[in-house]
């Protein structure tokens, strides 16, 4: 089902939140999955799927291990791009901008909502590093289960969130004969300006 954006709102983040909510209502798969592209200090690109865990007037938030490859890229070159696509609505959103770590308090609050198995997994995984075998990883999880038995699992100091503050956001909506609708928003001071793009 094609979903055309409301072009009356001057705020693309507000528009995104409305579209995101509609995607959730109809989602046959995880509507929070998005591609995140980064580049290292030498400009070599990398892309992977992460989960969008928050969006507000400050931007788009996700969480990860601060010692993995994506975090090393983001810390060395703190600019990124994301793309989220909902094929069941024929809609795509792209955003680009600078990226920063969220506060420890915000990371703590989100970590506390994760399933306990995911919390233990965050401690167990030396993300992106070589792994001798699956048995090694599972043994580490078992050790952590004993270590934290009967108590809440605290957030690892090497795990937390990033927020992308968009400087440009583009909404794409499929059109007949590939005459797609593209609405580009560019940050302009404290506000935004919108322009149409050719498909």
Average pLDDT per consecutive 10 residues, the chain (199 residues; last block may be shorter): 56 96 94 98 97 97 97 97 97 98 98 97 94 95 96 97 98 95 96 96
Instruction: Look up 15 and say whether it is catalytic.
Output: no
Q: Is 119 helix (H, G, I), strand (E, B) or coil?
A: helix
pLDDT number for residue 10 = 85
CB distance 160 to 66 below 8 Å: yes
pLDDT number for residue 17 = 97
What residues does each domain of the chain span?
12-112+157-197, 113-154
End-to-end CA distance of the chain: 19
CB distance 22 to 3 below 8 Å: yes
pLDDT number for residue 1 = 44
Selected catalytic residue, list 101, 116, 163, 178: 178
pLDDT number for residue 9 = 67
Q: What DSSP letter does each residue of 135-146 carry, written as one string?
A: HHHHHHHHHHHH
pLDDT number for residue 6 = 54
Q: With the C-alpha atoms ordered 138, 140, 113, 35, is the resulting torsion angle positive or negative?
A: negative
Residues 3-14 as b/e (b if ≥16 CB within 10 A, e otherwise) read bebeeeeeebbe
pLDDT number for residue 49 = 98
Q: CA nearest 83: which of 37, 118, 40?
A: 37
* Helical segments of the chain, H only: 12-26, 69-76, 104-111, 116-124, 134-147
Specify the fold of 12-112+157-197. Pnp Oxidase; Chain A (2.30.110)
């Amino acid at each position: 089902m094609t979903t055309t954006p409301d072009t009356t709102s001057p705020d693309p983040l507000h528009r995104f939140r409305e579209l995101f909510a509609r995607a959730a209502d109809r989602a046959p798969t995880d509507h929070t999955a998005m591609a995140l592209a980064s580049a290292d200090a030498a400009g070599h690109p990398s892309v992977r799927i992460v989960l969008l865990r928050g969006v507000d007037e400050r931007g788009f938030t996700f969480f990860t291990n601060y010692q993995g490859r994506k975090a090393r890229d983001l810390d060395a070159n703190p600019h990124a791009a994301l793309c989220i696509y909902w094929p069941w609505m024929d809609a795509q959103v792209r955003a680009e901008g600078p990226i920063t770590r969220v506060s420890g308090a915000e990371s703590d609050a989100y970590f506390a909502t994760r399933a306990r198995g995911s919390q233990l997994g965050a401690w167990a995984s030396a993300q992106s590093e070589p792994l001798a075998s699956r048995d090694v990883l599972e043994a580490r999880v078992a050790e952590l289960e004993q270590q934290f038995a009967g108590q809440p699992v605290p957030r690892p100091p090497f795990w937390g969130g990033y927020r992308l503050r968009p400087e440009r956001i583009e909404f794409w909506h499929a059109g007949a004969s590939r005459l797609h609708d593209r609405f580009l928003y560019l940050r302009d001071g404290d506000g935004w300006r919108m322009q149409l793009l050719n498909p």
